[in-house]
Chain A
Amino acid sequence: MIFKRKKDEVIIPYTLEQCNSCNAISKRKFKEGDYVFKNTETCSSCKGQMSITKIFGETST
């Protein structure tokens, strides 16, 4: 068929955190209360301060 019915997309929100000292990046699912540039936990590798750099939605496959 030329015109296939579009499937409903499921968009999952993710939060990207980055360490201010070692620049380590971690990606996790969005939690309520997250906002961009919020200081979160300490970095697991260097004990530096992690902060949220991005919050975005990705389509699940």
Chain B
Amino acid sequence: MDFLGINIDKLLNSNDNSNPLMWLVWIVPIVLFMFYGQKIQLQITSSEINKSLEKLKIFKEDTRKELLDYIKTTIKPTTDPSTKIDGYLEYFTIMPVDLDPNGIVQKIRHIMRSREDYTRLQVKTISSEINSLEASKIENILEAVTTLHMLYKMVRHLFLTAKKQNNFPLILPLQMMMPFIMEEAEALKDAVSAFKQGQPIGDGIGPMIVGKMMLGTEKKTAAFETIWCEKEFDGRKLYLMKAEGPSATVGRPGDALERIISENKPDVIVMVDAALKLEGEDSGTVSQGFGAAIGGIGTDRYQIEEVATKHKIPIYAIVIKQSIKEAITLMKKEIADSAEKVTSQIHEMIRDNAKPGQSVIIIGVGNTLGVSQ
């Protein structure tokens, strides 16, 4: 071919190293990526984060709608609850100043309890006829919706800041965190369904095991939404404690333990709780260890460690491994099936660590939704 005196075949001949057009084919992209590489990468990363952000928005809106529909169908309020709920979603909690950390745990506990009490009160004002089970379910759903709302706002803030500043390094930590944020968001979205139907969640395995041991005994109140009972086992006295089911509550194990220890000094403390598994570990596997097995912000763990140290009582822990999603959604069969194994391990632990005539306190830690006693 020869158009206008230019030989196309010769011009594009890749065997010829001196061909100027082939040089351009190599050099132009290199120059382009040198000067605009970060911007191109920013565009690609931005589009990925934007997709996740859209998903987060849908989760946030869907769960809010589910909560409102649930309130309207179950407790039939006289006024529209949407204004109250929307107002609640914007509530924030200011953590106490930590420049001087002395006494900070009591301050955190006070602030968190104030928030919990206020939430409880707000839910009760939606309808005067609401029972404690429904109120606890709504409180838990509200917590999930609020967390999703906060996640969405935080991710959007970081994303828009990076875009506004055209700052690629600023978007990198967000890109790395997105899979973890989305995992938590999906777990929260799925948790709403279990809370609505009052189904036990993975975190409820501890209360389920201790609740079974409590069957047929006289239950007494140990602290707010927390109950306990006494039982005999192989010549040892057992004090069994858990949150009061089947409401969606974790109770106040710290306060309850302090009260029980002040009245009856146990020789051993055994805590049964759900724990986050490591990647590669099977759900429902059981592990034993030492120390207070309890999650949350840390105030209850601090209280339990304090009282146990003061009275020199050893704390043993049995944990049932599960993922974050399994912990807050409907209990999986593998987790429920671990109950028998854990019970026999508790019995073994009692025999090994307490002599006949001694006493042991067993605490079932976790949200007791859908689990009675």
Judge whether B333 and A57 touch: CB under 8 Å: yes
Interface stretch, picked from B101-109, B207-215, B267-275, is B207-215
Contact of A32 among B197, B215, B329, B372 (CB under 8 A): B197
Judge whether A54 and B339 touch: CB under 8 Å: yes
Whether B330 sits at the interface, judged by CB under 8 Å, is yes
Total CB contacts across the A-B interface at under 8 A: 61
What are 17 sample pairs from A and B whose C-beta atoms fall under 8 A apart?
A: A11-B332, A13-B197, A13-B199, A13-B330, A30-B199, A32-B197, A34-B370, A35-B198, A35-B245, A35-B371, A36-B200, A36-B208, A36-B370, A37-B373, A53-B212, A55-B199, A56-B335
Judge whether B198 and A32 touch: CB under 8 Å: yes
Chain A residue at minimal CB-CB distance from B208: A36
When distances are taken between beta carbons in the complex, the residues of chain B under 8 Å from A38 are 246, 372
When distances are taken between beta carbons in the complex, the residues of chain A under 8 Å from B200 are 35-36, 55-56
Judge whether B330 and A57 touch: CB under 8 Å: yes
Query: What total of chain A residues lie within 8 Å of the partner, measured CB to CB?
Result: 16
Kindly provide the distance from the CB of A13 to the nearest chain B CB, expressed in whole angstroms: 6
- Nearest first, the 10 closest Cβ-Cβ pairs linking A and B are A35-B246, A57-B330, A56-B336, A37-B372, A36-B371, A56-B333, A54-B336, A35-B370, A56-B331, A55-B200
Chain B residue at minimal CB-CB distance from A58: B333
Q: What does the 1/0 interface line of B336-373 toward A look like (CB < 8 Å)? A: 11010000000000000000000000000000001111
